Amino acid sequence: MGNKETTENKEPNSAISITPTLAERVAIAYKKFNSQLINRLLLRFMGLMALFYLLWATPLIQKTIIAPIAQIYAHISGAILNLMGYGVKVNEDVITSTAFSISIKNGCDGIEGLAIFLCAIAIYPATLQQKLKGLGYGILFLVVLNLFRIVTLYMTGIHLPNLFDVMHESIWQILFIALTIVALFTWIDSLPKTQIDQNKL
């Protein structure tokens, strides 16, 4: 019998590459994203704002918190306008006279700007004392700013009615958020420069 010749197919040695699953890729991307302080702050801020809007949209919050705040703004703004000689009357959240009427509804109550300010301070790496101080100054500033907005909007409706919609829907909406951000960065700038290093997140 002749010798059998056998051939063995041997694959060359090579590194085995394992393609990560989608879940693993997402986990790696999140870990990389979360390694940056600014990204962690951004995620927490977005989470708090999402929670705010979920609560804000509920009828209970609208009725028990938002509506009373709007009425308080209306009464204080009405008192200021009467001191200025406009002779207005206030009924719940409506400021009215024989010449013009304005209602303090969502968007004119300053709640969203205040929520941005509060959520940003809540997630920022600062001490409790520094946060409370920032909240105190920030809330006072935004309340006064919103009263000024309501009064000037009413005056615009009286004296420049053609500009009221632009002032209400564009100029003051942008200006209020912009000044909220300015107030926030003013507070951040007042903190010690080593604040982030001293507070690990």
Q: What pLDDT is recorded for position 35?
A: 55
- In what helix (H) or strand (E) does residue 89 lie, and over which residues does it extend? strand 89-91
123-130 contacts, C-beta under 8 A, 24 or more apart: 123/41, 123/44, 123/45, 123/48, 124/41, 124/188, 125/37, 125/41, 125/195, 125/196, 125/199, 125/200, 125/201, 126/191, 126/195, 126/199, 127/199, 130/191, 130/195
pTM of the model: 0.76
Asked if residue 101 lies in contact with residue 94, where contact means CB atoms within 8 angstroms, the answer is yes
With bands split at pLDDT 50, 70 and 90, how would you rate the model's confidence at 11?
low
Q: What pLDDT is recorded for position 199?
A: 46
pLDDT digits (tens, 9 = 90+) for 86-135: 989 999 899 998 889 999 987 788 898 899 999 999 988 889 999 999 99
- In what helix (H) or strand (E) does residue 159 lie, and over which residues does it extend? helix 128-159
- Which amino acid does the sequence have at 60? L
pLDDT digits (tens, 9 = 90+) for 167-187: 988 899 899 999 999 999 999
Task: Share the mean pLDDT of the chain.
Answer: 83
- Domain residue extents for the chain: 37-192
